[in-house]
Amino acid sequence: MSELTFEQMLEDSLKTIHTGEVVSGTVIDVKPDEAVLNIGYKSDGILTRNEYTNDNSVDLTTVLKVGDTMEVKILKVNDGEGQVVLTYKRLAADRGNKRIEEAFNNKEVLKATVNQVLDGGLSVVVEEVRIFIPASLVSDTYEKDLSKYAGQEIEFVISEYNPKRRRYIGDRRQLIAEKKAEMQKELFEKINVGDIVEGTVKNVTNFGAFIDLGGADGLLHISQMSWGRVEDPKKTFKVGDKLNVLIKDINEGKIHLSLKFDDANPWRDAAKKYAVGNVVTGVVARMTDFGAFVELEPGVDALLHVSQISKEHVEKPADVLAVGDEVTAKVVDFNEDNNKISLSVKAMFAPEPAPEAKEEEDSEVVSVDIDAVIAAQEEEAEE
């Protein structure tokens, strides 16, 4: 048996490698764009930044250090200069493909950070596998600007898995819809008409505001925003406002809300404050052809009919009154059942004596104390 040379024994002690084989190596040198690994072969392996990750901004010295061990795949046994070319990202991608396939088959919820916002959606990477989430699957509502998702960790499921075409589609909308459905179910199980709950203003329109109750939205109609009159909801509420609202009605999955709380109802003591005969003061809130509505306090309006505006004939209310004018009048009618009050300025004046009585009075009275008459009229008016 012939003796082997040292070189032959050394070569025999080294393993053989093949393209595509997965081997374990130890980092013996690392630079920003390249790492050298001892893989137990006669030549060391070269791992470039491009074969480590798809992120060209990565500095390898920040993710690898001498002495680290890692598994890599043989990309080329000889690159023409006697060096072995290694890849890590392709090995990770192979394993990532299996991971994505398992997640697809098991409908598993995945988490990843958005690394790119594209015109048509979002891009995330899971174990070196790039997954695209179309804009239509990002949320359950249309979002024109997706920039807010940049760098944000999101959850999604794989809705399409096609490794041959390298097509991996993520779906976030499905999770949001399922979560909302569950929250809605829980909400409807615990709320009842008459409950006071906290909500957040989600949207404001000309006719009301939609309040997010945490699982479902409720409508706060303009007529239920206050015991007083609200002209423009957009001037009263803004998106994000926190409100305690009363659940007024629940009908076929629709929730109707109100801010008209009973303890703040101005009509509770109205029968006493606005009894017939009482003299009250208010401000003209709005005008009509047949009269003016006078706000006596927020939530309590009274009608001053055109025929009662003055003791003189008034053709149109706008001829003598304007919105914002202060009016003092006497309550001539109070309808508690319908919350209606009628006023009269005309009733503030003492009635003129009948012609017959006046003639009889003139014949009997020789002298008249004018000051006393005026004082008596004023006293009667106050009564």
Residues sharing a CB contact under 8 Å with residue 215, sequence separation 6 or more, in sequence order: 180, 183, 184, 185, 186, 187, 188
The answer to whether 52 and 25 have CB atoms below 8 angstroms apart is: no
Tally of CB atoms within 10 A around 94? 17
277: left (phi over 0), alpha (psi -120 to 50) or beta: left
In terms of domains, do 156 and 204 share one? no
- Return the structure tokens found at 331: 């309550």
Instruction: Give residue 167's pLDDT.
Output: 92
Task: Give 250-311 as a DSSP string.
Answer: EETTEEEEE---GGG-TTTTHHHHT-TT-EEEEEEEEE-SSEEEEEEETTEEEEEEGGGS-S
Secondary structure letter of residue 149 according to DSSP? G
In terms of domains, do 20 and 54 share one? yes
The answer to whether 45 and 92 have CB atoms below 8 angstroms apart is: no
- The string of pLDDT tens digits covering residues 1-40 is 445 555 555 454 556 888 989 999 999 999 999 999 999 8
Enclosing domain of residue 257: 191-262
- The string of pLDDT tens digits covering residues 151-170 is 999 999 999 999 888 899 99
In terms of domains, do 74 and 124 share one? no
In terms of domains, do 62 and 29 share one? yes
In terms of domains, do 214 and 252 share one? yes
Instruction: Give residue 16's pLDDT.
Output: 80
Residue 342 in any domain: the answer is: yes
Instruction: Give residue 29's pLDDT.
Output: 96
Residue 101 in any domain: the answer is: no
Instruction: Give residue 358's pLDDT.
Output: 45
For residue 82, with 0-12 CB atoms within 10 Å meaning exposed, 13-18 middle and 19 or more buried, which class applies?
exposed
Identify the three-state secondary structure at position 28: strand
pLDDT for residue 218 is more than 90: yes
φ, ψ of residue 39 to 5 degrees: the values are: -110, 15
Instruction: Give residue 355's pLDDT.
Output: 55
Residue 94 in any domain: the answer is: no
- Return the structure tokens found at 308: 């009662």
Residue 167 in any domain: the answer is: yes
- The string of pLDDT tens digits covering residues 57-92 is 899 999 999 999 999 999 998 877 778 999 998 898
In terms of domains, do 71 and 16 share one? yes
Distance CA 185, CA 189 (A): 6
Distance CA 155, CA 234 (A): 34
Q: Select from 87, 120, 153 the last residue of a domain.
A: 87
pLDDT for residue 372 is more than 70: no
User: What pTM, to 2 d.p., does this model score?
Assistant: 0.57
Instruction: Give the CATH number for residue 308.
Output: 2.40.50.140
Q: How confident is the model at residue 356 (pLDDT cuts 50, 70, 90)?
A: low
Residue 182 in any domain: the answer is: no
Long-range contacts of 222-229 (CB under 8 A, 24+ apart): 224/248, 224/256, 224/257, 224/258, 224/259, 224/260, 225/259, 226/259, 226/260, 226/298, 226/299, 227/260, 227/264, 227/265, 227/266, 227/298, 227/299, 228/295, 228/298, 228/299, 229/285, 229/295, 229/298, 229/301
Residue 295 in any domain: the answer is: yes
In terms of domains, do 383 and 366 share one? yes
Instruction: Give residue 93's pLDDT.
Output: 84
Instruction: Give residue 378's pLDDT.
Output: 42
In terms of domains, do 282 and 306 share one? yes
**The three-state (H, E, C) secondary structure of 68-126, written as one string:** CEEEEEEEECCCCCCCEEEECHHHHHHHHHHHHHHHHHHCCCEEEEEEEEECCEEEEEE
**What mean pLDDT comes out for the span 42-61?**
90
pLDDT for residue 133 is more than 50: yes
Instruction: Give residue 201's pLDDT.
Output: 96
pLDDT for residue 297 is more than 80: yes
Number of domains in the chain: 5
Instruction: Give residue 14's pLDDT.
Output: 56
Residue 146 in any domain: the answer is: yes
Instruction: Give residue 364's pLDDT.
Output: 38
- Return the structure tokens found at 213: 């109750």
Instruction: Give residue 6's pLDDT.
Output: 53
**What mean pLDDT comes out for the span 269-285?**
92
Distance CA 308, CA 328 (A): 12
pLDDT for residue 336 is more than 90: no
In terms of domains, do 83 and 10 share one? yes
Identify the three-state secondary structure at position 319: helix
Distance CA 212, CA 57 (A): 42
Residues sharing a CB contact under 8 Å with residue 350, sequence separation 6 or more, in sequence order: 377, 380, 381
Q: Select from 141, 176, 211 the last residue of a domain.
A: 176
Instruction: Give residue 350's pLDDT.
Output: 63
In terms of domains, do 76 and 110 share one? no
Of the chain, the percentage scoring pLDDT greater than 90 comes to: 66
Residue 314 in any domain: the answer is: yes
In terms of domains, do 342 and 282 share one? yes
Of the chain, the percentage scoring pLDDT greater than 70 comes to: 87
- Chain-wide mean pLDDT for the chain? 86
The H or E element containing residue 333 is strand 326-335
Strand 300-305 with 340-344, pairing? parallel
Q: Select from 262, 296, 319 the last residue of a domain.
A: 262
In terms of domains, do 130 and 166 share one? yes
pLDDT for residue 280 is more than 80: yes
φ, ψ of residue 134 to 5 degrees: the values are: -60, 150
Distance CA 30, CA 137 (A): 41
Instruction: Give residue 11's pLDDT.
Output: 53
- What's the one-letter identity of residue 80? G
53-57, 156-160, 277-281, 283-287, range with the lowest pLDDT: 53-57
Instruction: Give residue 376's pLDDT.
Output: 42
